[in-house]
Each structure stands twice: as structure tokens, then as C-alpha cells.
Structure 1
């Protein structure tokens, strides 16, 4: 019985002295990665808002910078263009003195298709751009927490959302 209690004490000591600090350091690394990706995402979107376009080089530079965290990310970019249309009576064709306003969204796949043609993707002043960046691979902290807690932890530990209105447009 005395040997069993010593083994349990050694296991608890190993957990407290080694696994807990490693888990803590891995979680701190996730916080640092979150902060870094947030800063790079903010710079990327602010650059787009100020210039009115995205070039393939700017996009690839952003992807390379966030890939430096050794995580893989899903990036979702949405461009919303406000459309205002006058309303007309369908029967007479007369103007009803009212307008219909809606947003036409362009998603990342369509933006990347423009890049494939070797062109920059352009915005108009007043358009809205938003981005969601989330990790798609498990971080070291997530793996350690799953081991430590013996449960499944969601992969998305790094999640950034940002957006804004385009202030300038390409000439």
C-alpha cells in the first residue's frame, strides 16, 4: 500500500512540475499568435480601406505573415457593395419616389479569380470589406488540453474578425 501511494505521489508531482508549465506556455503561445494575427489582419484591412484595392502581392504577403505562426488558417473575405435602385410602378412605369437599398456581396473565391487573371481587385468608396481569420489546425495548446482533460476541444482557438468602410478608391 505504501508503494502505491508513492507511485501516485510521483505521478501527481510529474503532472504539476512538468505538464502544467508546458500547458501554460503553450496557451501563452496561442495568445501571442492571436495577437500577432489580429495585428496583421488589422494592417491588411486598413491598407485595403485606405487604398481601395487588393493586389495579389498584398494578399500573399498577408498569408505569408500569418503562416509564420506555424498554424494553418481559413480566411474568409467578403466585399459588400451598396446598391440603390429607384422603385417604379410595374404597370405604368412611373417613379414611386422611393428607393430600394441592398448590398451585393462578393466572396473570397470571386476575389481570388480576379487575382488569377493578374489583376487587382478594386473597391468603390463607401463599400464595406470584412474578414474572418480562424485557425484550421489544432494548436499545441489544444492538443495538450485534450490530453490533459481527456476531452475533445474545438480546433478554432484563434479567431479574428475585422472590417470597415472603404475610404478611398483606385484612380
Structure 2
């Protein structure tokens, strides 16, 4: 019985003196990565909002800032283009215009944005055709989440004898309205 108690005390001491500080250090690394990701996303979206466009250089600088955290991210861009539709009592008769408009948004995502930024035409990154443009009143947003298992998630799973299905320890959503058309 004394040996079992001694072994248990030794395991508890190792757990408290080694594993828990290691886990807390990994969690603080995730918190720092989250702060870097948040800052990079805010700078990227605010830069795009004030310019009214995205260039390959702006997007690559943003990705370089994300890479500095040592994590891999799923980046989802969203551009909501503002559109107006006139209101008619009878859509087939233009004379029935009610004098008002309905506002709606067309959504554009990575599938539409990235081919403009990175086409297969060999043009330089400064070429105006590689600029994704937006209009004042549109919305630009970004969603980020890490796709790799961070050290904190791995240590937590080890300590709890668990298998966390969700890898995302770093999540970020940010969006805003386009304020300028500087192109």
C-alpha cells in the first residue's frame, strides 16, 4: 500500500510540476497566436475597406503574418456586393414602379476572389487586372480558423485521455463596409 501511495504521489508531482506548466505555456502560445491573427485580420480588412480593392501583394502580406504564428489556417474571404432592385406592383409593367428600391447583396467568396488575384496568365502582381475591386457600400469579411492541432490541444488530449475532434483553437471573424474606391 505504501508503494502504491508513493507511486501515485510521484505521478501527481510530475503532473503538477511538469505537465501543467507545459500545458499553460502552450495555452499562452495559442493566446499570442490568436492576438497576432486578430491584428493581422483587422489590418487586412481595414486596409481593403479603405482602398476598395485587394491585390496579390496585400493578400500575400496577410498570409505571411499568419504564417508567423506557426499554425495553418483556413481563410475564407467574403465580399457582399450591394445591389438595388426597383419595386413594381406588376414586375411585367414598368409603369407600376412604386418609387422605392429593395437592397440586396450578391455574395462572392474564395472561389471568385482568388482566381482574380492569382490567375494563370503569368502577369506581374502589380498588373491592374489582378486587382479584385469593390464598391463603396459593399462589405468585405474574413473568417479564419486554424486547421492544425496546436500543442495545447495535444497536451489537453494527453492529460485527459481524450481525442478532441475540433482542431480550431484560434478563430477569428472580422468584416466591415468598403469606405472608398481608391483605384
Q: Of 160, 167, 171, which aligns to 1:159?
A: 171
Deviations 1:37-70 (A, max 9, x none): 1001111111101111100111011111101111
Deviations 1:134-158 (A, max 9, x none): 1011100000001111223221110
Equivalent pairs, count: 171
Is 1:106–2:117 an aligned residue pair? Answer: no
Give yes or no for contact 1:122–1:170 (8 Å, CA) kept in 2.
no
Is 1:47–2:58 an aligned residue pair? Answer: no
Alpha-carbon shift at residue 92 of structure 1 (Å): 3.0
Give yes or no for contact 1:123–1:170 (8 Å, CA) kept in 2.
no
Gaps of 5+ in 1: none
Superposition pairs of residues 7-156 of structure 1, within 5 angstroms? 7-88=7-88, 89-94=90-95, 95-117=97-119, 118=123, 119-153=130-164, 154-156=166-168
TM-score (norm 2): 0.89
RMSD: 1.2
Gaps of 5+ in 2: 124-129
TM-score (norm 1): 0.95
Runs of 4+ in structure 1 off by over 6 angstroms are none
